[in-house]
């Protein structure tokens, strides 16, 4: 089983160095403004940095890519130094053949990116499964994390339920078969995923068009490998000491309704903001509302934000 698993993972890391060069010199380097690349021994991260103020880091939630984050950056960058990056083997963050999708290997690699690009004391606004990475780093690399702003992140047990419901026949969980199926299914699976998970239905056509464009240029969605390795049900997370806020969109039909309180199990105290009308990606569906709510939460600690610049009169 171990050999089959390794062969399956190779399907998502094969020709990674070639992909790094192609992405850095091709469409992904110019598709959005302010795109940068940062190389670790395992990953060439693709990211954007805009704004000034406290550093706030978002992990793009695949099949989202950086191109989906214009509205978010516009809403948050007057108040924060916003960083959005694509996770290893997702979007256009290509990986080397040494990458194994292991939970701690991945998180340590993300920590290297954060240390050099974000610096110490960032606010991590990671979503979905990547929220577990944020919790882990808050415990093991506390100097990198001042606060947690988790988005649609349940606990490890909750994600085991989520994974089983999203892959009821266990196809993605099977080495090689899962990777091959995902490569064939990704463009077809993606519209159904948006219809299931997005609360603002009027946004779905634009999200689908953006994802299709990214897939045409080689974007990755290595969900099968993540299912098989990264989303390990035996993970034991620490209890972060940093202030933690969880955003939850109740219109997300990919999560069971009973998971709404599950983020509270990730730390001794987690503040919650629930949006009945928003779905799996509330930060993209209504970024101005999330920005206002995050600023209000931070302001309780005494931090003062400058007023947003007024729109020019035309």
- The answer to which of 37-51, 102-116, 154-168 has the lowest mean pLDDT is 154-168
pLDDT at 184: 87
Span 15-22, average pLDDT? 95
Q: Is the pLDDT of residue 133 over 50?
A: yes
34: left (phi over 0), alpha (psi -120 to 50) or beta: left
Q: Is the pLDDT of residue 282 over 50?
A: yes
Q: Is the pLDDT of residue 266 over 50?
A: yes
SS3 content of the chain, % helix, strand, coil (to 5): 45, 15, 35
- Tell me which of 167 and 75 has the higher pLDDT: 75
- Mean of all residue pLDDT scores within the chain: 93
pTM over 0.85: yes
pLDDT at 101: 97
- The answer to which of 91-95, 102-106, 172-176, 275-279 has the lowest mean pLDDT is 172-176
pLDDT at 307: 64
pLDDT at 313: 41
Q: Is the pLDDT of residue 258 over 90?
A: no
Q: How confident is the model at residue 3 (pLDDT cuts 50, 70, 90)?
A: confident
CA–CA dist 255, 261 (Å, integer): 12
Q: Within the chain, how many helices (H) and strands (E) appear? A: 11, 11
Q: Is 275 helix (H, G, I), strand (E, B) or coil?
A: strand
- Tell me which of 222 and 314 has the higher pLDDT: 222
CA–CA dist 114, 96 (Å, integer): 19
Domain 2-298 belongs in CATH node 3.40.50.1820? yes
Span 34-61, average pLDDT? 97
Span 89-115, average pLDDT? 97
| Dihedral over alpha carbons 51, 56, 61, 65 (to 10 degrees) | 20
H helix or E strand, kind and range, residue 146: strand 145-151
| 171-198 residue pLDDT tens | 999 999 999 999 888 888 899 999 999 9
Instruction: Spell out the domain ranges in the chain.
Output: 2-298
């Amino acid at each position: 089983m171990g050999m089959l698993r390794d062969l399956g993972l190779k399907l998502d890391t094969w020709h990674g160095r070639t992909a790094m060069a192609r992405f850095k010199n091709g469409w992904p380097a110019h598709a959005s403004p302010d795109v940068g690349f940062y190389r670790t021994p395992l990953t060439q991260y693709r990211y954007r940095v805009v704004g000034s103020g406290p550093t706030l880091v978002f992990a793009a939630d695949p099949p989202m890519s950086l191109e989906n984050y214009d509205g978010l950056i516009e809403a948050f960058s007057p108040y924060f130094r916003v960083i959005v990056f694509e996770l290893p083997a997702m979007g256009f963050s290509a990986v080397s053949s040494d990458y194994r999708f292991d939970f701690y290997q991945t998180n340590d690699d993300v920590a290297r990116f954060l240390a050099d690009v974000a610096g110490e004391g960032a606010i991590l606004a990671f979503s979905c499964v990547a929220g577990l990475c944020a919790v882990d780093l808050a415990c093991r690399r506390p100097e990198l994390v001042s606060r947690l702003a988790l988005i649609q992140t349940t606990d490890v047990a909750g994600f085991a339920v989520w994974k089983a419901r999203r892959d009821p026949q266990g196809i993605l969980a099977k080495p090689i078969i899962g990777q091959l199926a995902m490569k064939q299914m990704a463009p077809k699976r993606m519209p159904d995923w948006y219809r299931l998970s997005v609360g603002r239905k009027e946004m779905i056509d634009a999200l689908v068009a953006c994802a299709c464009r990214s897939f045409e240029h080689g974007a990755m969605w290595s969900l099968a490998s993540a299912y098989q390795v990264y989303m390990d049900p035996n993970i034991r997370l620490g209890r972060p000491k940093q202030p933690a806020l969880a955003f939850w969109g109740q219109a997300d039909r990919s999560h069971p309704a009973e998971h709404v309180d599950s983020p509270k199990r990730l730390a001794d105290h987690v503040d919650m903001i629930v949006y009945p009308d928003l779905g799996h990606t509330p930060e993209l569906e209504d970024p101005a509302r999330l920005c206002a709510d995050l600023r209000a939460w931070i302001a309780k600690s005494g931090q003062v934000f400058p007023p947003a610049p007024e729109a020019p009169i035309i």
